[in-house]
Amino acid sequence: MTQLIGSAFGTEQERRAAWIVKQTVCSEMAEPVLALAADRTNDRVVRRYLIEGVSRALGGEPASWERVSAVTRRLIHDDDPLIREAGAQLIHDVQGSPDERAGLLVGLLGDDDDDDAVVLTAAHALLALPSAPIPDQAISALAAHQHPEMRRLAGELVARSASEGPSEGAGS
């Protein structure tokens, strides 16, 4: 099925093939599928479906972050916000170092990304990480955002930081 992606069959057929891969990809195929998703010559919807499939395949698998961290770092710096958002969701779905993943998600907050969907996904993923330190400036950027959900999430992050006590570089 992955052979159809990037072929001369056309965008619609590639999207259908990617959707099938999304539904059926297994953990063993995560790396090659994610490599296809990182290929910027592929259609954005195809890439998104492939990333979502890898998220499903690796969700809950211990140490899965190590398997996808290098490619995911490229995805969250992609020009396309659809891909950056899927990359943020992938960071949320895999298992691994909370501090490392939190640092990448924080990089998507505030002035670092201008797409609301990317920032919302990153903020939700941060809330789901166990006690990862979040810099004050990231929380402040969310608190000052025009989107009410962003401000609500900033309040939750402040409350979580306060309940965990002071930590270096995090808090309200």
Q: Where are the domains of the chain?
A: 1-96, 102-172
- CA pair distance 154, 164, nearest whole angstrom: 15
- CA pair distance 112, 55, nearest whole angstrom: 24
Alpha helices in 59-115 (DSSP H): 64-75, 81-93, 98-106
Is pLDDT above 50 for 114? yes
Is pLDDT above 50 for 170? no
Q: What number is the average pLDDT over the span 98-126?
A: 86
When pLDDT is cut at 50, 70 and 90, the band that residue 60 belongs to is: confident
| Residue 172: CB atoms within 10 Å | 14
Is pLDDT above 70 for 167? no
Q: What is the pTM of this model?
A: 0.85
Would you say 122 and 153 are in contact if contact means Cβ atoms under 8 Å apart? no
Is pLDDT above 80 for 3? no
Concatenated DSSP letters for 79-90?
S-HHHHHHHHHH
pLDDT in tens, 32-57: 999 999 999 999 999 999 999 999 99
The percent of residues above 70 in pLDDT, for the chain, comes to 88
- Element at 2 (helix H, strand E): none
- CA pair distance 169, 172, nearest whole angstrom: 10
